[in-house]
Homo-oligomer: A and B are copies of this chain.
């Protein structure tokens, strides 16, 4: 139902999206059976294709070039996919979006190199664009994402951390790539510097809202809808916004410690999720997400009126309130 709603938001640029989907399939094709199968597994597991969508929509504010836009969109989605493969190794995840992960079907080593391979494919795709600023921006973005991944490990199983630590982490984990998706879409279409800046900021704020909602859903949704156990973040040793609010409450601490040390039973997991849901922490986290969303919307509202502007607003609204 929710997925259908998202798809309906994409109607206006379904053709661009289909083109990009085909390019993605072509791009990961390889003579090595392992690479081909692993990449296709990842592609088919789908996802919301938010990065390509942001690239397409942002490109409408300049001189739109289908080829350039497709190269950037494909590249960004591939970087996102590559980072997921590596994340599944870190989080020891066997299932993502209901599909077996690469590390589960094969092993950590294959997952590592499949990630590297897809990463390189992304560079080849964007390499065809003859704009230095594009390569520099992408390189800087990837660097920050990698730093974020290592910092995430440093903070794993760590109870003593602040909101600032959390915000910095989700910035690198999600907001930066969405921000760069908007910026790059606008850049390759030669949009004006002011428009580029506004879209970049929009992507950043929308990304922060998006990740907070993601972290909320990990607690409020069901195993079935998530395609992985609810509460996975805690089981993997990651404190997120809702749990940061209550981490020092004496009733919650035993659950937290047992989650981090892998000794939580399934019954306790249920009790823990109920506790968090009733603590008020979800609502507080949602309010922070809403604030980011408002900031995102404010940026877009300053842009010239057009179909893409409407779509950006609708999608942002949807991302901040989605149920999956």
Segment at the B interface, from A3-11, A150-158, A184-192, A217-225 = A150-158
The reply to whether A143 and B121 form a contact with Cβ atoms under 8 Å apart is yes
The reply to whether A150 and B32 form a contact with Cβ atoms under 8 Å apart is yes
Contacting residues, chain B, for A140 (C-beta < 8 A): 124, 127
Complex interface residues of chain A between 122 and 175 (CB less than 8 A to chain B): 123-124, 126-128, 130, 132, 135-136, 138-140, 142-143, 145-147, 149-151, 153-154
Contacting residues, chain B, for A115 (C-beta < 8 A): 116
Interface size class of A (residues with CB under 8 A): 35 or more
Which residue on B lies nearest to A140, using beta carbons?
A: B124
Which residue on B lies nearest to A92, using beta carbons?
A: B109
The reply to whether A114 and B150 form a contact with Cβ atoms under 8 Å apart is yes
In the bound assembly, the distance between CA atoms of A143 and B147 in angstroms comes to 22
Most buried by B among A32, A113, A119, A140: A113
In the bound assembly, the distance between CA atoms of A207 and B153 in angstroms comes to 37
Q: Mostly helix, strand, loop or mixed at chain A's interface?
A: helix
Contacting residues, chain B, for A119 (C-beta < 8 A): 116, 119, 146
Indicate whether A45 reaches chain B with its CB closer than 8 angstroms: no
Contacting residues, chain B, for A86 (C-beta < 8 A): 112-113, 116
Which residue on B lies nearest to A122, using beta carbons?
A: B139
In the bound assembly, the distance between CA atoms of A172 and B2 in angstroms comes to 46
A interface with B by C-beta (< 8 Å) = 30, 32-35, 86, 89-90, 108-110, 112-117, 119-121, 123-124, 126-128, 130, 132, 135-136, 138-140, 142-143, 145-147, 149-151, 153-154
